[in-house]
Amino acid sequence: MKILILIIIIVAFCWNRAINQTFIENLKKHKRVQEAISEKQAIIEVLLLANNLKIDSFEVFIRIFKKEKLLELWGKNKNDKNWKLIKIYSLCIKIGPLGPRVNKIDELPEGVYNIDNFDAESSFVLALKLNYPNPVDNFYIQSSTSPVYICGQCFSLGNFGISEPYIKELFLFAIYAVANGQSKIPVHIFPCRMNDENLKILVETNNKYEKFWASLASVYKFFENNKIIPNIILNADGTYHIK
C-alpha cells in the first residue's frame, strides 16, 4: 500500500511539473515575454542570489499599499518557512478613495487575492489578473464591476499600474514561480500600512469600513510579526478571519 501511494505521489509530481513547464514555454512564445527575458533575466538572477533564493524552487507573494503607492515583492524557497522582501516597486497610478471597491471604475479594491491569469498580449504591456471579486468584495459591490490587473500602464483606471520596466520584472518572477510549482500566488492589498495609528486614522476618517479594516489589519499584522502568510477565511459578511 505504501509503495502504491509513493507511486501515485511521484506520478502526480511529474504530471504537475510537465504542466507547469508547458505553461511557461507557451508564454515564452510571446514577443513581450521574450523581450522581458532579454532585458530583465540578469536582474532577476541577481535579486534571487542576493536573497539566497534558488531560481528553480522559489515562490513569490505580493503586497500592495494604496496610500503609499507601493508594491512589495516577497519570496522564499519552497521548503523555507519565512518570506524575504525582494524588492519594492512604486505604483504610477492615481489612487482613488480608500476602502473596498463599491461601484466606480476608478476605485481600487482592498483584500486578499490570488493571481489567476497571466496576460502577455494585454493592452497594458504585460498584466497579472487578480481573482477579484472575492466573497468579501461581494458584500460591498453595488453594481457590476470590471476585472482588476497589476499591469504596465500608468493611466489605467481601476488597475494597479507600475512602469513598463517594472512589470517586465514582476511578470517574470510570477511565471517562474508558477513553473516551480507554486499553484497560487497570493496578493494582499491594503489601504495603507495598517499599524495601530494608521488604523485609527482610517476609522476616524470613515467608520463605515471599521470592521472590514480591522479584519484586514489582523492579516497585515500577522505577516508583519511572523513573515508567514496566515490561513485566511473570507467571510460573506465583508470581513476576513485568520484561522
pLDDT tens digits for range 122-148: 777 899 999 999 999 999 988 777 899
Q: Which ranges in 28-92 belong to alpha helices (H)?
A: 31-50
Give the model's confidence band at 20: pLDDT under 50 very low, under 70 low, under 90 confident, else very high: low
How many other CB atoms sit within 10 Å of the CB of residue 29? 9
What pLDDT shows up at residue 211? 97
CA dist., res. 217 & res. 214, Å (int): 5
In a domain, 232, yes or no: yes
What pLDDT shows up at residue 5? 42
What number is the average pLDDT over the span 170-198?
97
What pLDDT shows up at residue 140? 94
Q: What is the DSSP letter of 207?
A: G
In a domain, 24, yes or no: no
In a domain, 12, yes or no: no
* Higher local confidence (pLDDT), 136 or 29: 136
In a domain, 47, yes or no: yes
In a domain, 25, yes or no: no
CATH of the domain at 192: 2.40.440.10
Domain count, the chain: 1
Contacts of residue 22, defined as CB under 8 A and 6 or more positions apart, other chains included, come to none
Structural domain harbouring 93: 40-242
In a domain, 15, yes or no: no
CA dist., res. 103 & res. 105, Å (int): 7
Give the model's confidence band at 91: pLDDT under 50 very low, under 70 low, under 90 confident, else very high: very high
CA dist., res. 69 & res. 42, Å (int): 26
In a domain, 103, yes or no: yes
Q: Which grid coordinates belong to 72?
A: 512589495
What pLDDT shows up at residue 158? 87
Reported as a single tens digit per residue, the pLDDT across 189-233 is 999 999 999 999 999 999 999 999 999 999 999 999 999 999 999
Average pLDDT, the chain: 90
Give the model's confidence band at 4: pLDDT under 50 very low, under 70 low, under 90 confident, else very high: very low
What pLDDT shows up at residue 21? 66
Q: What is the percent of the chain where pLDDT is above 90? A: 76
What pLDDT shows up at residue 6? 39
pTM for the whole thing?
0.90
What pLDDT shows up at residue 89? 98
In a domain, 31, yes or no: no
